[in-house]
Amino acid sequence: MLETLLGSKLRAKVLGWLFSHPDERYFVRQLTALVKEDSTNVSRELARLEKTGILVSTTEGRQKYYQANRQSPLFSELHGLILKTVGVADVIKKALEPRMADIKLAFVFGSVARRAEDRLSDIDLLVAGNISFGEVVDLVSTAEEALGRELNPVVYSLAEFNERVSENHYFIRDILSGDKIFVVGDENELEALVGKRLAKGTQTDIT
């Protein structure tokens, strides 16, 4: 999806990494290793993106560093799009695929969903279904490596999730009232579990 929108696989990978880590800066060799592409092509792409204003660069000694430009009028839109696709949600969804049939609902919440994360932010993930915490941790380890971020999963069986909702537990209440990026399921799935009144906040799904 992102490749089609941005015009090339390389551009999608470069922007995907930089906009997933908007407060980090990288020189060409670092980014080349991360996106696993030819360094000459990466260097050319970075230069093109800097000219558009999407990226900014700083030079220290003989090293030039690139990072996402938070002042660009396109930053918010690109950041949101990348979080929903290669940046976070799609990567986590692929990691969970081996047990997808056992997962009823999964979404990112917290600072990443609010687009208020910084370079130290973990990715908070709620998972509800017939799967254990340990199994989720094992599955998302590949996503952590791909994203360069630690994932902080909260895992409930469906019975436990419904019980917390029925109790109006403060933690679940806060999550449900906040922003979400859906990984498995969507707003309708959430409403079916908890009711429309509780399934509020800003929701985004990647399907």
- 39 in a domain, yes or no? yes
Spell out the SS3 assignment of the chain: CHHHHHCCHHHHHHHHHHHHCCCCCEEHHHHHHHHCCCHHHHHHHHHHHHHHCCEEEEEECCEEEEEECCCCCCHHHHHHHHHHHHHCHHHHHHHHHHHHHHEEEEEEECCCCCCCCCCCCCEEEEEEECCCHHHHHHHHHHHHHHHCCCEEEEEECHHHHHHHHHCCCHHHHHHHHCCEEEEECCHHHHHHHHCCCCCCCCEEECC
Q: What is the domain range of residue 29?
A: 1-80
Determine the length of the chain. Answer: 207
- Which of residues 80, 105, 129 is at a domain's end? 80
Q: Do 23 and 109 belong together in one domain?
A: no
- 149 in a domain, yes or no? yes
- 205 in a domain, yes or no? no
Q: Do 45 and 140 belong together in one domain?
A: no
- 206 in a domain, yes or no? no
> Would the pLDDT of 189 be above 80?
yes
Q: Do 24 and 99 belong together in one domain?
A: no
Strand 151-156: give its sheet, edge to edge. Answer: 151-156, 123-129, 103-109, 180-184, 203-205
DSSP 201: S
Q: Do 44 and 124 belong together in one domain?
A: no
> Would the pLDDT of 24 be above 50?
yes
Q: Do 151 and 71 belong together in one domain?
A: no
- 14 in a domain, yes or no? yes
How sure is the predictor about 145, in pLDDT bands with cuts at 50, 70 and 90? Answer: confident
- pLDDT value at residue 86: 63
- 63 in a domain, yes or no? yes
Tens digits of per-residue pLDDT, 82-132?
776 666 888 899 899 999 999 999 999 998 888 777 766 789 999 999 999
Among 126, 107, 114, 130, CA closest to 206: 107
Q: Do 137 and 192 belong together in one domain?
A: yes
Q: Do 74 and 119 belong together in one domain?
A: no
Our CA angle for 97, 184, 31, nearest 5°, is 65
- pLDDT value at residue 207: 46
CATH number at residue 105: 3.30.460.10
Q: Do 103 and 187 belong together in one domain?
A: yes
> Would the pLDDT of 47 be above 60?
yes
Q: Do 35 and 126 belong together in one domain?
A: no
Q: Which residues contact 192 (CB under 8 A, 6 or more apart)?
A: none
Bridge partner list, 153: 125
Distance CA 124, CA 107 (A): 8
pTM as predicted: 0.68
Q: Do 96 and 190 belong together in one domain?
A: yes
Q: Do 162 and 131 belong together in one domain?
A: yes
- Which of residues 80, 97, 115 is at a domain's end? 80
CATH number at residue 68: 1.10.10.10
> Would the pLDDT of 3 be above 90?
no
Domains contained in the chain, number: 2
Q: Do 100 and 135 belong together in one domain?
A: yes
Distance CA 103, CA 95 (A): 12
* Choice among 3-12, 88-97, 162-171 with the minimum mean pLDDT: 3-12
CB distance 104 to 128 below 8 Å: yes
- 107 in a domain, yes or no? yes
- Which of residues 47, 80, 113 is at a domain's end? 80
> Would the pLDDT of 199 be above 80?
no
